[in-house]
A = this chain, B = another copy of it.
Amino acid sequence: MARLKTTHDIFSAIGEPKRRILIEQLVLKEMAVNELVDIVKWPQPVVSKHLRVLKQVRIVSERKDGRRRLYKVQPEEFRPIQEWMHQFEKYWGGSLDQLDSYLVEIQERGKK
């Protein structure tokens, strides 16, 4: 046997650095392919191919707008990864100043 399809697994889908870069853009706002091309400076087919993989694993969604296709991230789809990560958090030690802003925010919310 050989490689696994990156196309059927969220974990391997985000294993590819270029795909992570696309995700980082698409989480900020919905964008057309050419906007992404302008930002990342890769050939358009390269962008389109990576978008296809991301779409197949449901990490991004696609929407038609005339001759353009608008892509955006589906944040809920990252939940499984986040949940998988929790097995390590226990061991990170808990002093608050080590925590990122999100956790602090949650904590503040809890105080109310």
Whole-angstrom distance between the alpha carbons of A89 and B109 in the complex?
15
A14 within 8 A of B: yes
Distance (whole angstroms) from the CB of A42 to the closest CB of chain B: 12
Whole-angstrom distance between the alpha carbons of A4 and B103 in the complex?
33
A20 within 8 A of B: yes
A contact residues, total (Cβ < 8 Å): 44
Of the listed stretches A30-38, A47-55, A63-71, A93-101, chain B binds A93-101
Copies in the assembly, this chain: 2
Give A residues with C-beta under 8 Å from B: 3-4, 6, 9, 11-17, 20, 24, 27, 73, 75-76, 78-79, 81-92, 94, 96, 99-103, 106-111
Distance (whole angstroms) from the CB of A37 to the closest CB of chain B: 19
Contact yes or no, A11 B4, CB < 8 A: no
Interface contacts beyond A6-B15, A13-B15, A96-B109: sample of 18 additional A-B pairs, CB < 8 Å, sorted by A? A3-B3, A11-B20, A12-B12, A15-B15, A20-B84, A24-B87, A27-B87, A27-B88, A75-B88, A75-B90, A75-B91, A79-B92, A82-B89, A86-B100, A99-B106, A107-B110, A108-B110, A111-B111
